[in-house]
Amino acid sequence: MPKALPVLHLHDSLQREKVVFTPLQSGTASLYVCGMTVYDYCHLGHARAMVTFDTWSRILRYWGLETRYVRNITDVDDKIIHRAAERQEPITALTERFIVAMHEDEAALGCLPPDLEPRATQHIPGMQALIATLIDKGHAYVAENGDVYYAVRSFPGYGKLSGRSLDELQVGARIEPDERKRDPLDFALWKAAKPGEPAWASPWGEGRPGWHIECSAMSTEALGCAFDIHGGGLDLQFPHHENEIAQSQGAGCAFAHYWLHNGHIRVRDEKMSKSLGNFVTVRDLIPIYGGEALRFFILSSHYRSPLQYSDDALAAAQNSLVRLYTTLRGLPPHELVPELGADWEARFVAALADDANTPGALAVLFELAREINRLREQGSELASPLGTLLRHLGGILGLLQQDPERFFQGEDEDADWIEAKLAERQTARVQRNFAHADAIRADLEAAGIVIEDSASGSTWRRR
């Protein structure tokens, strides 16, 4: 870490500008992120949120802040109920399966687990207590059928996060036939029980929480009535995060000090989403490109910008990683020499200090890789310690932590066969049977194996 870190800036969605990050409590940082609704496999849009806020938590920790990162799981919701009914399986079986799958995807993307991962079904009492407070304060009311609604017009600041006025929101708003709310803008805090749906006892009758109340309750239970950063995808800014503010501040909590939102993954200029059917799952892409390449692809664009998905873009990310791991290949571990890499690290950190400018940070990594390659060609002993610096800086972004040979070879089911062929080829070369050695090389190349010869021996990787 540089002796003097620059001031950390972030773009606060509420203030609509880049501001200096000042923790509410010196030396600490608290981060709450809206997590997955677990009724299906994670797609690349979910991966972007995972990687974005994993990176933010890494940055906060690099800045020396004792960081508490909380990301919830929504395990009761209309979509979950409908999917379980379609598949004729218990809701808990459905959600447990997709929670396991989500954790597998998270690990493949190089994301560290959050410090706390509360589930909605484990926090029903806290949600009910929050709803009761809102009723007492005149911000919520109980409908005839046992539903409880938030009265949007009771909260003067409604719309401040998304920049929408009540008049704008009123246009097109309507009340569904089965709803008992007083105003089309009001939203459900508690939903009265319906046949076949999960339900909990409450002062207003059997029912279940609305989606928005979940995060208000879980975030404040985990981090307190005021915390530093609330994050999530841009699509959550309205109405979900807007409603969270109304609920939490309506109940008397200061709530989040800063708001961060990551941009959408786009497919042919449309947002990637399950509702549009234009999504691709993380687990479908990992066998083709590898989880680290997906992470690199996400970090190659600023987190607030839209990111266009394509096979070519993912292949380019994979090739970029190949270049960096090729630089690290064959460099022995070396003790980090801060003075040697001070300028590289300062420029890398300056990029991160500018609202987590990961494309700028990656550019520094490639400049450093070019310098390492130049020094290695000259036979300089400085190549190895700078290689250690490259790995160190990459680690701040969750990259370049694999052994280079493992990266190139992966979990190849043909590894034993390939190694045997390489040994056979080496024997043929020693015996000066170059025709046989060339034939082995041709066989391997036909199988998609690239052989790289050097003074220290031969290595291989998949093309």
- Chain length of the chain: 463
- Single residue among 262, 290, 305 that ends a domain in this structure: 262
In a domain, 380, yes or no: yes
Which one-letter DSSP state was computed for residue 58?
H
Name residues whose C-beta falls within 8 Å of residue 424's C-beta, 6 or more positions apart in sequence. Answer: 440
Q: Does residue 51 contact residue 299 with C-beta atoms inside 8 Å?
A: yes
Distance from C-alpha of 174 to C-alpha of 1, rounded to nearest angstrom: 55
In a domain, 312, yes or no: yes
One domain for residues 169 and 229:
yes
Q: What's 312's domain CATH number?
A: 1.20.120.640
Q: Is 17 helix (H, G, I), strand (E, B) or coil?
A: strand
Structure tokens at 91: 């809701």
One domain for residues 30 and 62:
yes
Distance from C-alpha of 292 to C-alpha of 461, rounded to nearest angstrom: 16
In a domain, 4, yes or no: no
In a domain, 216, yes or no: yes
Name residues whose C-beta falls within 8 Å of residue 271's C-beta, 6 or more positions apart in sequence. Answer: 45, 235, 264, 265
In a domain, 274, yes or no: no
Taking the model in full, what pTM does it have?
A: 0.88
Distance from C-alpha of 109 to C-alpha of 432, rounded to nearest angstrom: 45
Distance from C-alpha of 389 to C-alpha of 334, rounded to nearest angstrom: 9
Q: What's 103's domain CATH number?
A: 3.40.50.620
One domain for residues 53 and 119:
yes
Best CA proximity match to 155, nearest among 221, 230, 219, 243: 243
Q: Does residue 28 contact residue 264 with C-beta atoms inside 8 Å?
A: no
Binding residues: 34, 215, 240, 244, 274
Q: Does residue 278 contact residue 44 with C-beta atoms inside 8 Å?
A: no
Positive or negative, the CA dihedral 453, 456, 458, 461 is negative
Q: Does residue 294 contact residue 286 with C-beta atoms inside 8 Å?
A: yes
In a domain, 367, yes or no: yes
- Single residue among 388, 407, 426 that ends a domain in this structure: 407
- Single residue among 232, 262, 292 that ends a domain in this structure: 262
Q: Which residues pair with 142 in a beta bridge?
A: 148
One domain for residues 80 and 98:
yes
One domain for residues 78 and 191:
yes
Distance from C-alpha of 421 to C-alpha of 443, rounded to nearest angstrom: 9
One domain for residues 102 and 191:
yes
In a domain, 82, yes or no: yes
Cα–Cα separations (whole angstroms), residue 383 to 2, 332, 337: 20, 10, 12
Give the domain range for residue 300. 282-407
Q: Does residue 217 contact residue 197 with C-beta atoms inside 8 Å?
A: no
One domain for residues 286 and 367:
yes
Query: What is the structure's pLDDT at 271?
Result: 67
Q: Does residue 278 contact residue 270 with C-beta atoms inside 8 Å?
A: yes
Q: Which residues pair with 104 in a beta bridge?
A: none
Q: Is 343 helix (H, G, I), strand (E, B) or coil?
A: helix
Q: Is 203 helix (H, G, I), strand (E, B) or coil?
A: coil
Count CB-CB contacts under 10 A for residue 240: 17
Q: Is 148 helix (H, G, I), strand (E, B) or coil?
A: strand
Best CA proximity match to 441, nearest among 459, 463, 421: 421
Binding residues for ATP: 274
Distance from C-alpha of 435 to C-alpha of 462, rounded to nearest angstrom: 23
Q: Does residue 257 contact residue 228 with C-beta atoms inside 8 Å?
A: yes
What's the Rg (C-alpha) of the chain?
A: 26
Distance from C-alpha of 292 to C-alpha of 285, rounded to nearest angstrom: 11
One domain for residues 297 and 433:
no
Structurally, how many domains does the chain consist of? Answer: 3
Burial of 329 (0-12, 13-18, 19+ CB in 10 A): middle
Binding residues for Zn(2+): 34, 215, 240, 244
One domain for residues 400 and 420:
no
One domain for residues 164 and 232:
yes
Pairing of strands 449-454, 270-271: unpaired
In a domain, 275, yes or no: no
Which stretches of the chain drop beneath a pLDDT of 70? 1-3, 172, 177, 269-278, 411-417, 419, 454-457, 461-463
Owner of token pair 């040697």:
340
One domain for residues 159 and 38:
yes
One domain for residues 255 and 314:
no
